Amino acid sequence: MSTCTLRGNHSWVAARAANYHYHSKNPAFGTLKEQLDDEENYLEVPNEHRMVYKADYAFPSPLTDREAIVKIVWKRLSEKSVMVTYHPLTSHPEVENKDGKAVIRASTQSAILVTQLDDDATELQWSSHINFGGKLPSAVINGFIIPNTNRLLSHHQAYFVYSIPLQDLKKTDGKLLGEVLINQIKKARKKGGWKKRVELGKVGIDEFLYISAAMRELLPRHPWIRALLHEVSLNKVKAARTVHTALSDMKDNDAINLAKGLSTIILTNTEASAAVDHWIAQNFALEEFEKEYEWMRPFFVEIAQYNLNTSNLGLRLRVFAGALLSTVDLITDVYMTIKFFITDGQEGFGRVTAWLIGLTIFFQILVGYANNSKKLTFL
């Protein structure tokens, strides 16, 4: 079972989750009406509503000719809770394909529980079991069916965060907004090779700025945000300087300098939140921006975390610096130990230092072995 929290009322979330058009038909909500073909006539929708759904699975030959016919039951459990269940419809007659063979009947059993948590937050719980009937290669199940099913919740989260107006964005929305932007960049970059990843990444950002209702409102007020996100997505180390420009006077060049500063700070930090804290503290315009938009900090923390995870240069610099400091520390310890042994009356200090060095090396080897021996091997 998968669970997520979405911004929006439970009726809107339930309609979206069950792929049901919210504005024209709303089963399970007694206060609404379902419109018939005749626009002048309306039919009251009861608190329990049933519909039949047929799905054809377009697998390549010889896996094709599979279908699932399910009965979808909507039922209101309380004023703030709706259950949507999917049951196999066994009474539906079987059909044949063009070769006269029976089409394989798949079986789908799912349940969606939607519960209103507060005025603008809804919890969505999703559980699903699918039996496609007959044999399907594990590559199809593991590589296509399961990932697509698991992506449903992230798609719903993206849909709702895209729909939130700028004035309704909260601090807690910043993290999800950052995740949605990163996913949009990844999606765009998949359309081309490595040489095109920079330009395609910018395309993904532009799509994000266009699709999001909040970003469409933000961009006319602060058009430099586009240049900032473009430069941040490059994740390249360049000469940077602190920007002292006020928020009201920000231009694209100032935004580019801000982005360069973040990329440089990320290299010297192991935590994205610390990097963003440093970045905001040294740039007055960003402090002003955060006062106006509280979601800004977690939004950029999410982007910085992605850059931190994908920055090989930053990782190498941190590993090299750590290894260098450890080596220098070991050399100085050995030097002092030798000096203790060759100095009259200091042999005891030399033995203690030697024991401490030996114990430290032993524990480092022990911890390294424990960490690596527990790693899982994925085939």
62-86 residue pLDDT tens: 566 777 777 778 888 888 888 888 8
pLDDT for 35 equals 35
Per-residue buried b or exposed e for 179-193, using 16+ beta carbons within 10 Å of the residue's own CB? bbbbbbbeebbeeee
Q: What is the pLDDT of residues 156-179, one digit of tens each?
A: 778 888 888 899 888 888 998 999
Q: What is the pLDDT of residues 286-345, one digit of tens each?
A: 999 999 999 999 999 999 998 888 765 555 555 666 677 777 877 887 888 888 778 877
From 3.60.21.10, 3.40.50.300, 2.170.120.20, 3.30.530.20, which CATH number describes the 2-148 domain?
3.30.530.20
Rounded-to-integer distance, Cα 282 and Cα 276, Å: 10
Rounded-to-integer distance, Cα 279 and Cα 286, Å: 8
Closest CA to 205 of 224, 175, 227: 227
Rounded-to-integer distance, Cα 23 and Cα 56, Å: 26
Cβ contacts of 115-120, under 8 Å, gap ≥ 24: 115/10, 115/80, 115/81, 116/9, 116/10, 116/80, 116/81, 117/5, 120/7, 120/8, 120/9, 120/168
Tokens of 173: 């929305």
Q: What is the pLDDT of residues 1-25, one digit of tens each?
A: 778 788 777 877 887 776 654 433 4
Q: Strand pairing partners for 72?
A: 51, 86
Instruction: Using DSSP bridges, classify how beta strands 48-57 and 42-44 pair: parallel, antiparallel or unpaired.
Output: unpaired
Tokens of 358: 């030996």
Rounded-to-integer distance, Cα 137 and Cα 377, Å: 22
Closest CA to 297 of 283, 267, 277: 277
pLDDT for 335 equals 81
Q: Where are the domains of the chain?
A: 2-148, 174-310, 313-369
Considering the chain, what percentage of its residues have pLDDT values greater than 70? 73
Rounded-to-integer distance, Cα 26 and Cα 30, Å: 9
Tokens of 192: 């081309």
Kindly report the three-state secondary structure assignment for every residue of 33-90.
EEECCCCCCEEECCCEEEEEEEEEECCCCCCCCEEEEEEEEEEEEECCEEEEEEEECC
Helices (H) and strands (E) in the chain, counts: 13, 8
Mean pLDDT of 368-375: 62
Q: Between these two residues, 278 and 237, which has the higher pLDDT value?
A: 278
Average pLDDT of every residue of the chain:
77
